[in-house]
Homo-oligomer: A and B are copies of this chain.
Amino acid sequence: MRRDIFQAIADPTRRAIIALIALQALTPNAIAEHFQTSRQAVSKHLRVLTECELVTQQQHGREIHYSLQLERLQEVDHWLSQYRNLWETRFTQLDQVLSTLKNQKK
């Protein structure tokens, strides 16, 4: 199934999981300990995150360590960048208004 990263980060639990594994890879059980939910529910979230390649798996014996693919978040950053330009332009325009007013005073 084709997954969308925006839909993946829409769920607060999934954002919490992302925060958890940002610094170190964790197993589903280790992640589930941080929530009042079952390991299976966490596994379903990890499945969604895996499907949009936000996390990857490393198998160690019977344990599976999930780690965050930080660079995938740049897709969100890229989407945001078009609007970042806009709001920075807005500030630039405000600056221009202010400096125009300043010059008129002189």
Contact = CB atoms under 8 A, between A and B. Distances in A.
A18 B82 CA distance: 11
- Classify the secondary structure of A's interface with B: helix
Contacts of A80: 73, 76-77, 80
A37 interface: no
A3 to B, nearest CB: 11
Interface residues of A, number: 25
Copies in the complex: 2
A33 to B, nearest CB: 22
A54 to B, nearest CB: 11
Interface in A1-36: 4, 6-7, 9-10, 12, 15, 18-19, 22-23
